A and B are shown apart, each in its own frame.
Chain A
């Protein structure tokens, strides 16, 4: 039976936890600890995911086929323990891009209303 092609727009808006996890995987596969570290870094330490939230989110993303488990191997930067690595699926890539575009449009509107300033590079002429 052919699987119905899912429109990424149908899955928007994403919850913050889901968006952060997808964003962390956008530039390559990661294991859970690395995802958690990257989310903390993106949010300047404001969001530190607990194991329950992170793996609950990963479980739902796998069920929704937005991410997939790639393999299990040790992280050479940490220790010898084998860790599960995850990566974005094709659908996950399209969904996170759609959500990022949505945020960009909202930021554009906020700038238009002077709620937030332009980035430094754009201000200089």
Chain B
């Protein structure tokens, strides 16, 4: 029996469908592409015979969703068919893949949990600033020997010299001057006390908590580090 004469509309529909078969995975297309195109052509001929162009339109309205849905399913099926890394490892090592799979799953889950938590916390935490100043500290040469000084100090070396200087820097007198110069009572009152001006002892306590005084090794310098949420100018005594 000879093939029936095809109308142009059927011919165009068939060609379009053959192009659309490209959405299927290669393996599926190679195996079933030709029969699928044949079936669609037969359906086009039936639709044209029944209702001409309107028949073709209704056929396309039925076939297009079918094409989209089944191509996705075939791609998912093709992905599942490819061996997973765990299965390849178990084949090589001759080990039961189930514990390996569990290990990788737990490892990835823990990694993601730690990474995710760190990222979230990092982005949620407010920014902080830190400034460090180094101060060269030397003994005052005009200090007269023997007056309220330890025997070691009178000989030129005082092991308590830096500690003494640290306490002087941390004293209420020095910090009070800093607080007054930078108006920290008012500024920190706005930030931490709901706008109410802080008292100087309260501000000193806050300032001491943010200061870090250290001696720089092998030098006669101190480093003074201050941490804050905003940049603050530090002034030396």
Contact = CB atoms under 8 A, between A and B. Distances in A.
B73 interface: yes
A83 B34 CA distance: 9
Interface stretch (B60-68, B87-95, B103-111, B220-228): B60-68
Given A33-B39, A51-B66, 16 more contacts: A32-B38, A50-B62, A50-B70, A51-B17, A51-B43, A52-B67, A53-B69, A56-B70, A58-B32, A59-B31, A78-B1, A80-B1, A80-B2, A81-B3, A83-B35, A84-B35
Nearest to A52: B70
Nearest to B46: A37
Interface in B131-154: none
B18 to A, nearest CB: 11
A54 interface: yes
A81 to B, nearest CB: 7
Contacts, number: 65
A67 interface: no
Given A59-B28, A59-B31, A51 B1 contact: no
A50 B3 contact: no
Nearest to B34: A84
A24 to B, nearest CB: 14
Contacts of A48: 62
A51 B62 contact: no
Contacts of B194: none
Nearest to A33: B42
B66 A53 contact: yes
Contacts of B39: 32-33, 36, 51, 54-55
Interface of A: 31-33, 36, 48, 50-56, 58-59, 76-81, 83-84
B1 A77 contact: yes
B126 interface: no
A70 to B, nearest CB: 14
A80 B37 CA distance: 15
B4 interface: yes
A54 B66 CA distance: 10
A56 B73 contact: yes
Which of B1, B3, B17, B37 has its CB near the most chain A CB atoms (within 10 A)? B1
Interface in B151-200: none
B113 interface: no
Contacts of A59: 28, 31-32
B201 to A, nearest CB: 80
Interface string B197-217: 000000000000000000000
B48 interface: no
Contacts of B32: 55, 58-59
B3 A79 contact: yes
Contacts of A55: 32, 35-36, 39
